[in-house]
A and B are shown apart, each in its own frame.
Chain A
Amino acid sequence: MTPVLRVENLTRYFGGLRAVHEVSFDVAPGELKALIGPNGAGKSTCFNMLMGQITPSAGKVELNGEPITGLPPREIWRRGVGRTFQITGTYQSMTVAENVQMALISHHRRLFSMLPYAYRLYREEAMALLDVVGMAQQADRACAILAYGDLKRLELAIALAHKPTLLLMDEPTAGMAPRERIALMQLTADIVKERGISVLFTEHDMDVVFAHAHHIMVLNRGELIADGTAAEVRSNPHVQEVYLGGGTLYAAEETSHA
């Protein structure tokens, strides 16, 4: 079976800094795969290259067997990749429902339409998606006043709007309370399982990772040092060296992302 995502030798330099170096991996259909690593390991940079926010210095990205390297984000999105960001970027001046409607308007290619009222367009569809993430009650609240966890759930609903085959989630639970984290990831896992979506996510809460990821990859200083099941990764001596050597890593990272 062709993998949903195939990454080959993905590399990115920032000046002299080697942020990501020859990273290769696959994501299989329906798979939930975690990309972990200490702060500054290059996870977000990887995601930015996969989604087209930055161009790789070298390497290839294939989506369902087709090359997407160097395409702009909007093009990659059209081909079925959804993304949530480490720092959420929802539209502050719109309501919750309108945020989802906006993605639907884009999905249905009505962006240049000037006749209908936007707030009425695809309202039902948007409500259905909000229902999936449990945000239907808040549909008409201004996005600017949402609690952080709700914003993350909204982002998930937006990412589902164009029926993606692959979801990229960069630190979906950063800044949330532990219980909220588990709940959000459980919700995500249920949704993607039902819809057959593959997920690649970064996460620094190991409980979340081990509870939900089918496979785990470890990135350290831009290099992939492990790729396997939870058990394999746990017993990998290299990973232990990186992680167990610094038990404080997680705590440090959390404060830096808060």
Chain B
Amino acid sequence: MGLLVAQLLTGLANAAALFLVASGLSLIFGVTRIVNFAHGSLYMLGAYVGITLMGVLPGAVGFWGAIVLAGVAVGLIGVVIEICVLRPVYRAPELFQLVATFGVILVIQDLTLMIWGGEDMLGPRAPGLKSVVRILGEPVPQYDLALIAITPFILLGLWWLITKTRVGILVRAATQDREMVGALGVNQSWLFTGVFFLGSALAGLGGAIQLPKGGADLLMDFSIIAEVFVVVVVGGMGSIPGAFIAAVLISVLNVFGVAYVPQSTLVLMYVVMAIVLMIRPWGLLGREEKAGEHGQIGEPQRPIRPAGWIGRSLVLALIAFMALIPVFGSTFTQVLIIDILIFCLFATSLQFILSTGGLVSFGHAVFFGGGAYVAALLVTYFNTPMELAFALAPLGAGVLAIGIGWFCIRLSGVYFAMLTMAFSQLVWSLVFQWGEVTGGDDGLVSIWPSKWLSGTTAYYYFTLAMGIGGILVLRHIMHSPFGYALRATRDSARQAEATGINVKQIQWMAFTLAGAFAGLAGGLFVFSKGSIFPDELSISTSFDALIVVFLGGVKTLAGGVVGAAFMESAKDWLTRLEYWRLILGLVIIAVVIVAPDGIVGSLRKLGERIGIVREEESMR
């Protein structure tokens, strides 16, 4: 009994930081409709700034002062981000905003590394609250009790701010009807900036307040963001009481999970999320809404045509050239090209669902890694011949996509993005924690191809055939009736439904196809490396694919391939630089703001301008 109570109290204490961060994210989303992926980075900054301030300011006043100041400082950093990065893209499609905030994550990661170094830092303990209290015989840290006492006041404070003050009324008005704010005679951009300050400050507070329990390290940003997304999705986007309930729920669940089912704590959290969403797709206290209503702003995509004879000859020439590489290229070149081709196929499968389907999937790596793990597990446990295991990789990933798609397709826009991400995290945590079967962090090794494919050159040709074959098949599907139906659902779901198209069914099918092709890429990957680790399922792998599609050009067909080829080639020298994340992050932000057409789109426009490419009739 005493242990139960103690665990409950720990859970409640952990909820404090989670709630602070989640409420900030929720608030920002509610008003600006931006999902700030960099929110975890702000939390991390809060922790680092907090440690530094606590080192300078003495005593209990200094400690609590440092927490508040850390919040203010991070709030101000949030303002800088809002003004420099987000203001230019408020009217852009969601994807652009998400990618921009992802650029911010990279920049903050490297800046933090520069300023505070790579060592994990231990948080100081709170002056006057350093010991434990015995409750029913169990030790409970005093600081935990302090957090439990403080959190409801923060909730009350926020509630008061939102419901009783003029600012709060504006915020609520903006949450419900953004046009109305303009009508109230309020400068919308300053309202957005203000909300960004508040939301960021809450994240900073969260980072600083958990210091005595956790400390600061460079992985905090990613580790909290997934959890925060679960909280926000479960609680309901934009609802602060919802964030509170969900934060408590998830934190308590985690503590009990650690105690009783230590192998599956992370999984538990995502399972709860899945159950909640099955019953209430918009979260516990969220309201149903049509997300993504501004997803198609900007130039519409152009009509497409299969490549003409020039295009086809160029592609043929390229394939012929690649087929000749083993004759004069080194083994290293072949390995590099294998990597590039695999990544190109993976990116094309994402491009299919994202660009043709208009569905921004943030968890696409789950199918890439999923396919790889299916093959690896089959080989490891059933001695399945490589050929069969390889064939089952796309199938397995496709089946996984059918399952995940069933949940996700019901939502759209950012909700869809967050759900896909959460499900990919579910699978990731399953693989990560179920060590007996999946090898956990150590991965699965010795997954080699059959004898006839074991040479680098043989596998090179195999990858060439499968990779390019896969890309061409996907491209063909984009031009087929199914591809057109998918574009129809993206262009106007209402019109599609009113002309006999079952929008959700088409999207589900497309999601499944994209998953299967990502699984094919995963199959190629695992047999080329001989091993697979949970990393290939992780958020950062999903983001890699998103970034290349984006850099290549979202509103094009070839963006995925071109972006992936470019990135995979550039990565080799880029990662040799010490602060490559900073550079990449800045490039991403710059592309979002300055050249949103990406490489292919910008080249096409350039070609039109100098007259190489036939110009389309000018858009209205």
A residues with CB within 8 A of B: 51, 53, 72-74, 77-78, 83, 85, 89-95, 98, 101-103, 105-107, 110-119, 121, 141-145, 158, 161-162
Given contacts A105-B485, A116-B481, contact A85 B494 (CB under 8 A): yes
CB-CB nearest 4 A-B residue pairs = A89-B495, A92-B300, A93-B301, A89-B492
Question: Across the interface, do A113 and B482 meet the contact criterion of CB distance under 8 Å?
Answer: yes
Name the residue of chain A whose CB is nearest to the CB of B506.
Answer: A111
Q: How far is the CA of A105 from the CA of B477 in the complex (A)?
A: 15
Q: How far is the CA of A89 from the CA of B490 in the complex (A)?
A: 11
Quick check: B303 and A111 within 8 Å, CB to CB?
no
| B484 in contact with A118 (CB, 8 Å) | yes
In B499-528, which residues have CB < 8 Å from any A CB?
Answer: 499-502, 506, 509
Task: Give chain A residues whose Cβ lies under 8 Å from the Cβ of B487.
Answer: 91, 93-94
Contacts A85-B495, A144-B300, A161-B499 known; 10 new A-B pairs at CB < 8 A = A77-B500, A89-B494, A90-B491, A90-B492, A91-B491, A93-B302, A93-B491, A94-B484, A111-B482, A112-B509
Are B481 and A121 in contact, CB atoms less than 8 angstroms apart?
Answer: yes
Complex Cα distance, B488 from A110, in Å, reads 14
> Interface digits, B286-330 against A, CB 8 Å rule (1 contact, 0 not)?
000000000010001111111000000000000000000000000
Q: A105-B485, A106-B499, A158-B499 are in contact. Are A142 and B302 (CB under 8 A)?
A: yes
- Interface status of B71 (Cβ within 8 A of chain A): no
A74 CB, min distance to chain B CBs, angstroms: 5
Residue among B482, B499, B509, B620 making CB contact with A144, cutoff 8 Å: B620
B contact residues around A83 at 8 Å (CB): 498
**Contact among B476, B491, B500, B506 with A94 in the assembled complex (CB-CB below 8 Å):** B491
Report the nearest A residue to B306, measured CB to CB: A117
Q: Which residue of A lies closest to B494 (CB)?
A: A89
A110 nearest CB neighbor, chain B only: B481
Interface size range of chain B in the complex: 35 or more
- Does B131 count as interface, using CB distance less than 8 angstroms? no
Q: Is the CB of B479 within 8 A of A118?
A: yes
The one of B305, B306, B495, B509 in contact with A91, judged by C-beta atoms closer than 8 angstroms, is B495
20 contacts between A and B (CB under 8 A): A74-B498, A78-B500, A85-B495, A93-B302, A93-B487, A94-B484, A94-B487, A98-B303, A106-B500, A111-B501, A112-B485, A114-B477, A114-B482, A114-B483, A115-B480, A117-B479, A118-B480, A121-B481, A144-B619, A145-B619
Whether B303 pairs with A73 at a CB distance below 8 angstroms is no
Residues of A within 8 A of B500 (CB): 74, 77-78, 103, 106-107, 111, 162
B441 is an interface residue with CB less than 8 A from chain A: no
| Bound CA span A95–B494, Å | 18
Could you tell me if B476 and A114 are in contact, using CB atoms closer than 8 angstroms? Answer: yes
**Which B residues from 316 to 366 make CB contacts under 8 A with A?**
none
Contacts of B492 in A (CB 8 A): 89-92
Q: Are B495 and A90 in contact (CB under 8 A)?
A: yes
Q: How far is B503's CA from A74's CA once the two chains are assembled, in angstroms?
A: 9
- CA of A220 to CA of B578, assembled, Å: 71
B572 interfacial contact with A, CB 8 Å = no
Q: From B301, B481, B488, give the contact of A113 (CB < 8 A).
A: B481
> A53 to chain B: which residues have CB within 8 Å?
494, 497-498
Any A CB within 8 A of the CB of B618: yes
Judge if B179 is at the interface, Cβ distance under 8 Å: no
A212 to B405, CA, bound (A): 48
Q: Is B617 in contact with A102, judged by CB distance below 8 angstroms? A: no
Contacts of A115 in B (CB 8 A): 480
Which residue from chain A places its CB closest to the CB of B487 in the assembled complex?
A93
The residues of A that contact B495 with a CB separation of less than 8 Å are 85, 89-91
**In the complex, B387 has a CB within 8 A of chain A:** no
Most chain B C-beta atoms within 10 Å of own C-beta, residue among A111, A112, A113, A117: A111
Question: Does any Cβ of A come within 8 Å of B616's Cβ?
Answer: yes
A106 to B484, CA, bound (A): 11
Of B296, B300, B498, B506, the most chain A CB neighbours within 10 A belong to: B498
Residues on A with C-beta less than 8 A from B491 are 90-94
Complex interface bits, B453-492 against A, C-beta within 8 A gives 1, otherwise 0: 0000000000000000000000011011111110110111
Task: Point out the residues of chain B lying under 8 angstroms from A143, CB to CB.
Answer: 303
Residues of B within 8 A of A92 (CB): 296, 300-301, 491-492
Measured CA separation A73–B495 after assembly (Å)? 10
Chain B residues near A74 (CB, 8 Å)?
497-502
Nearest CB of A to B489, in Å: 10
Contact with A along B586-620 (1 / 0, CB 8 A): 00000000000000000000000000000011111
**Chain A: which residue is nearest B484 at the CB level?**
A118
Tell me if B484 and A98 are in contact (CB < 8 A): yes
Contact of B617 among A73, A90, A106, A142 (CB under 8 A): A142
Q: How far is the CA of A101 from the CA of B480 in the complex (A)?
A: 12
Asked if A119 meets B498 with Cβ closer than 8 Å, knowing A91-B488, A92-B300, A94-B487, the reply is no
How close is B546's CB to chain A, nearest CB, in angstroms? 21
Is the Cβ of B480 less than 8 Å from the Cβ of A116?
yes
A174 to chain B, nearest CB (A): 17
Complex Cα–Cα for A51 and B498 (A): 8
In angstroms, how far is the closest chain A Cβ from the Cβ of B596? 17
Cβ-defined contact, A102 with B620, below 8 A: no
Of A106, A161, A162, which is in contact with the most chain B CB atoms at under 10 Å from its CB?
A: A106
Minimum CB–CB distance from A97 to chain B (whole Å) comes to: 10
Contact A102 B497 (CB under 8 A): no
With A and B bound together, what is the CA distance between A94 and B304 in angstroms? 7
Question: CA of A161 to CA of B499 in the docked complex: distance in angstroms?
Answer: 9
Closest to B555 in A: A93
CA distance A59 to B477 in the complex (A): 43
| Contact in complex: A102, B484 (CB < 8 Å) | yes
Most buried by A among B302, B477, B488: B488
Contacts of A94 in B (CB 8 A): 303, 484, 487-488, 491
List the B side residues contacting A116 at CB < 8 Å.
480-481
B498 touches A93 (CB 8 A): no
Contact B494 A114 (CB under 8 A): no
What's the Cα separation between A108 and B481 when bound, in Å? 11
The distance from the CB of B406 to the nearest CB of chain A, in whole angstroms, is 18
Residues of A within 8 A of B306 (CB): 117, 119
CA distance A26 to B492 in the complex (A): 31
Q: Which residues of A lie under 8 Å from residue B499 when comparing CB positions?
A: 74, 77, 102-103, 106, 158, 161-162
B488 contacts which chain A residues (CB < 8 A)?
Answer: 91, 94, 102
* Inter-chain contacts of B618 with A (CB < 8 A): 145
When chains A and B are docked, how far (Å) is the Cα of A158 from the Cα of B499?
9
Tell me, in angstroms, the Cα distance from A115 to B481 when the chains sit together: 8
CB-CB under 8 A from A72, the residues of chain B are 497
Which residues of A have CB within 8 Å of B479? 117-119
Which among B296, B480, B616 is the interface contact of A114 at CB below 8 angstroms?
Answer: B480
Given A74-B500, A89-B492, A118-B480, A102-B485 contact (CB < 8 Å): yes
Give Cα A53–Cα B499 distance, bound, in whole angstroms: 12
The residue on B at minimum CB distance from A115 is B480
**Alpha-carbon distance between A158 and B500 when the two chains are bound, in angstroms:** 12
CB neighbours (8 Å) of A118 from chain B are: 479-481, 483-484
A51 → B minimal CB distance (Å): 6
* Closest residue of A by beta carbon distance from B486: A111
Is B498 a contact of A142 with CB atoms below 8 Å? no
In the complex, what's the smallest C-beta–C-beta distance from A102 to chain B, in angstroms? 5
Minimum CB–CB distance from B470 to chain A (whole Å) comes to 14
A121 to B485 CA separation, bound complex (whole angstroms): 13
- B301, B481, B620: the one contacting A111 at CB < 8 Å is B481
Question: Looking at A89, A93, A94, which has the most chain B CB atoms within 10 Å of its CB?
Answer: A93
Contact (A142, B616) CB under 8 Å given A74-B502, A114-B476: yes
Residue of B nearest to A142 (CB): B303
| A91 to B479 Cα, complex, angstroms | 15
With a cutoff of 8 Å between Cβ atoms, the chain A residues found around residue B619 in the complex are 142, 144-145
Residue in chain A with minimal CB distance to B492: A89
